[in-house]
């Protein structure tokens, strides 16, 4: 039960990070219009945060909730977050009424 709660919390954190990153991206360009207002992909997160472009994120490179929960996301505890590790983070559940099919 505790593991399930941790996964949900981690999913919520990643959801918040993606929303924050989306807002930042929108302020800098019109990328969100091109993406259809979807949160940034793992590739986009790495493009924004991977300062040394080594394909891994260090705690110094990340910000916000991603930094706070770094150790939870760094599954192999090597001090880096890889794209694979970030992809394994549970997606947050959508709140609100379900979308209607057209």
Domain ranges of the chain: 2-87
Alpha-carbon distance of 21 to 49, in angstroms, equals: 10
pLDDT digits over 2-17, tens only? 767 777 777 777 877 7
β-partners of residue 57 are: 81
Neighbours of 46 (CB within 10 A): 20
Q: What is the pTM of this model?
A: 0.55
Domain 2-87 annotated CATH 1.10.238: yes
Tokens encoding 90? 């549970």
pLDDT digits over 85-95, tens only? 999 887 766 56
Read off the DSSP letter of residue 61: T
| Burial label, 56 (beta-carbon count in 10 A; 0-12, 13-18, 19+) | middle
**Tens-level pLDDT at each residue, the chain (102 residues):** 676 777 777 777 787 777 777 665 445 555 445 545 677 789 998 999 999 999 999 999 998 878 988 999 999 999 999 999 999 887 766 565 665 655
Residue in 8, 4, 5, 10 with CA at minimum distance from that of residue 71: 10
Q: Side-chain half-sphere of 64: how many Cα atoms within 13 Å?
A: 14
């Amino acid at each position: 039960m505790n593991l399930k709660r941790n996964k949900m919390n981690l999913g919520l954190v990643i959801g918040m990070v993606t929303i924050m990153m989306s807002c930042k991206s929108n302020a800098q360009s019109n990328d969100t219009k091109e993406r259809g207002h979807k949160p940034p992909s793992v590739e986009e997160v790495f493009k924004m945060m991977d300062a040394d472009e080594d394909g891994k994120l260090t705690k110094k490179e990340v910000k916000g909730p991603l930094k706070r929960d770094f150790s939870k996301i760094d599954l192999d505890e090597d001090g880096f977050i890889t794209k694979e590790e970030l992809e394994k983070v549970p997606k947050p559940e959508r709140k609100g009424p379900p979308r209607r099919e057209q």
